[in-house]
Amino acid sequence: MKRLPDLTALLLALLTLVVVYQVTTRIYEGVPHIEDEVAYSWQASLYTRNQLAIQSPPCPRCFLTPFVVDYNGLRFSKYPPGWPAVLSLGVRLDLRDWVNPLLAALCIWLTYRLVSRLTRPIIGILAALLTLTSPFFLLNAGTLLSHIWSFFLTLAFLMAWLEMTILHPSIPRWMSVLLGGFSLGLLALTRPLTAVGVAFPFLIEGIIRLFKSSPAVRMAMIRTGILAGLLAGLLFVWQYAVTGNFLLNPYTLWWEYDKIGFGPGIGVQEGGHNLYWARLNLKHSLHSGVSDLFGWGRVSWLFLPFGLFALRRQKTAWSTLAIAPSLMLFYMLYWIGAQLYGPRYYFEGLISVTLLTAAGIAWLAGKLTADPPFTVGWWASRLRFGLVAAVSTALLACNLCFYLPARLGGMIHLYGASREQLLPFQSQNATQLTPALIFVHRQNNWREYATLLELSSPYLDTPFVFVFSRSEEENQQVMRAFPGRKIWHYYPDEPYRFYTAPRP
């Protein structure tokens, strides 16, 4: 019986692997849908050849890749290297669609382990189940975005912190230091502002513990901070490698106003980003995220107050609970919010909410806690347990039967992106067209062209090289740079027809 929670959590993790893979391949079809994913995919392909940047192509505008910049003759992505480096491992093994599903399964297991250590195993199971069934979790886990990787790093850091700060750790503290330092440092190389938001509560806790903890714990925390800081410092080395300037943020090379903070020149609002817009972004992000959290509509917060009460004396959990509000606070410094996949800038704070919700359910149920909140008769205790179990099960069923299918279904062919768009270039007849230079003539928007980049490479050496058709002069410039390729003109509204010249 003691191993039953572990086995249950393992089954949930394996189920997560299957479910998220289905979301990846059936909902998103394993292709990028938004600019961020296109850039990450391009960057991951670049890293498979162990390069951070390549020479800019002739007519850079003709080889448009969202959020990939051309600067001083070099082409590189604006995004930090942490997540693309991990994604590139999947590209090398031709297993790109499995990277986030595998990480999602690990996140479920770590959620169970962390919450079990902070509370009890049954609450850990509840937290893992809530995470697995969360539309917010599944919406992001099936994409090519970085959030599942950063969530995994956050959970790994939390586990390491818990180990290094207890009196009798189950593993040597030096191992916790390595795990914690590397996890937080890699998080900084993936999503720098997120790393600040995650680390901030533990920085406060660490300062307090410096005056109360044993020398071994103090040294472990200090060494973890030093290691994380050294790894985070590689972000400036990367910036120097691609821009020639340690302090030049590549984000500003795509949009000059894409900065963090308040004031003129930051963001697109007149006068710059300020507290008014920060509060508005926060409001819209939270509004979009309430239903996505657990799929319970406007009552997704239902058990949070009870969880706060249940964990009010659990000091080891306080910093974990503070991650979500810390991320909200720090992302107020960013001029834009996120709603399409839920409030994904706060994604790593999901552990705070699932911990609170699971603890709240357990506290209300009474029988799931070691210290019942009040003494009642046997029948009343059973009634309370049954009522809480019934309400929780009903909410979970409503999500699985109604909200989740509709929410995921609404993401199919998002912005028109579909693997079907690649089929004209994957038929046997298409091989007769190669090696080809395909001028894609825009019909609706740039995404019709961006989806085709799945069949291309940053090095422009694949059988099909796709060109975003521009002016006649620019197109001729590209043709001269690829003299050995056949020239075809492609119009997305005629997917299986190739023109030798632009159609009238």
- Tell me the pairing of strands 54-55 and 68-71: unpaired
pLDDT at 371 over 90: no
Percent share of the chain, pLDDT over 90: 85
Whether 403 maps to a domain, the answer reads: yes
- The predicted structure's pLDDT at residue 378: 61
> Residue 253 and residue 246: Cα distance in Å, rounded?
14
Residue 70 lies in a domain: no
Quote the domain boundaries for residue 364.
4-26+97-254+282-407
- Mean local confidence (pLDDT), 454-472: 94
Residue 359, CA atoms < 13 Å, CB-side half-sphere:
27
Please indicate, yes or no, whether residues 353 and 470 belong to a single structural domain of this protein: no
CA distances from 357 to 32, 303, 374 (A): 33, 5, 20
Percent of the chain with pLDDT over 70: 97
Tokens read off for 125? 């199971």
Indicate the number of domains in the chain: 2
Q: Are residues 176 and 293 in the same domain?
A: yes
Closest CA to 158 of 185, 176, 131, 138: 176
Q: Are 365 and 125 in contact (CB under 8 A)?
A: no
In a domain, 51, yes or no: no
Mean pLDDT to the nearest integer, 475-494? 93
Give mean pLDDT, residues 38-53: 97
**Span 485-490, mean pLDDT?**
94
What residues contact residue 267 under an 8 Å CB cut-off, 6+ apart?
Answer: 257, 259, 273, 277, 335, 336
Asked if residue 236 has pLDDT above 60, the reply is yes
d(CA 48, CA 89): 7
Domain shared by 386 and 436, yes or no? no
167 and 20 in a single domain? The answer is yes
Q: Where is the domain boundary, 407, 441, 464? A: 407
Residue 329: inside a domain: yes
The Cα 243–Cα 251 span in angstroms is 11
pLDDT band at 476; cut points 50, 70, 90: very high
Cα of first residue to Cα of last residue in the chain, in angstroms, is 74
Judge contact between 355 and 158, C-beta under 8 A.
no
Sequence-distant (≥ 6) Cβ neighbours of residue 24 within 8 angstroms: 30, 97, 100, 101, 141, 142, 143
pLDDT of residue 442: 82
pLDDT above 90: residue 338:
no
pLDDT at 171: 87
Q: How far apart are CA 458 and CA 448, in angstroms?
A: 18
| Residue 413 maps to a domain | no
Q: Is 213 helix (H, G, I), strand (E, B) or coil?
A: coil
Given a cut of 90, whether residue 177 has pLDDT beyond it is: yes
434 and 365: one domain?
no
Please say if the pLDDT value at position 285 is more than 80. yes
Same domain, 326 and 221: yes
Residues 339 and 453 in one domain: no
Does position 188 have pLDDT exceeding 80, yes or no? yes
Average pLDDT (254-278) is 95
* 43 closest CA partner among 229, 189, 156, 176: 189
Is pLDDT larger for residue 195 or for residue 369?
Answer: 195
Is residue 185 domain-shared with residue 229, that is, in the same domain? yes
Contacts of 437 (CB under 8 A, 6+ apart): 465, 467, 478, 479, 482, 485, 486, 487, 488
**Tokens matching residue 393:** 């099960």
The last residue of a domain, from among 344, 372, 407: 407
Q: Residues 183, 320: one domain? A: yes
Q: Please say which residue of 371, 387, 407 terminates a domain.
A: 407
Question: Is residue 267 one of the residues assigned to a domain?
Answer: no
- My answer on whether 399 and 426 are in the same domain is no
CA distances to 135, 294, 342, 396, 450 from 402, in Å: 11, 12, 18, 10, 33
User: What pLDDT sits at residue 504?
Assistant: 82
Q: Which residue has the tokens 């199919």?
A: 412
- Residue 464 · residue 456 · CB < 8 Å: yes
For Cα atoms 415, 421, 427, give the angle at the middle one, nearest 5 degrees.
170
| Residue 369 predicted with pLDDT over 50 | no
pLDDT band at 313 (very low <50, low <70, confident <90, very high): very high
The reply to whether 326 falls in a domain is yes
Structure-token pair, residue 73: 């003759």
- Taking residues 187-213, report their average pLDDT: 96
Residues 440 and 386 in one domain: no
Contacts (Cβ under 8 Å, ≥6 apart) of 170: 163
Angle between helices 173-188 and 82-92 (to 10 degrees): 100
Q: Which of 225, 205, 198 is nearest to 329 (CA)?
A: 198
165, part of any domain: yes
Specify the pTM: 0.95
* Top-confidence residue, 153 or 287: 153
Pairing of β 68-71 and β 74-77: antiparallel
Q: Is the pLDDT of residue 154 over 70?
A: yes
Residue 381 backbone phi and psi in degrees, to 5: -65, -45
Q: What is the mean pLDDT of residues 213-239?
A: 96
d(CA 349, CA 486): 51
Same domain, 384 and 433: no
- pLDDT, tens digit, 9 for 90 and up, residues 380-414: 777 888 899 999 999 999 999 999 999 999 999 99
Report DSSP state, residue 263.
Answer: B
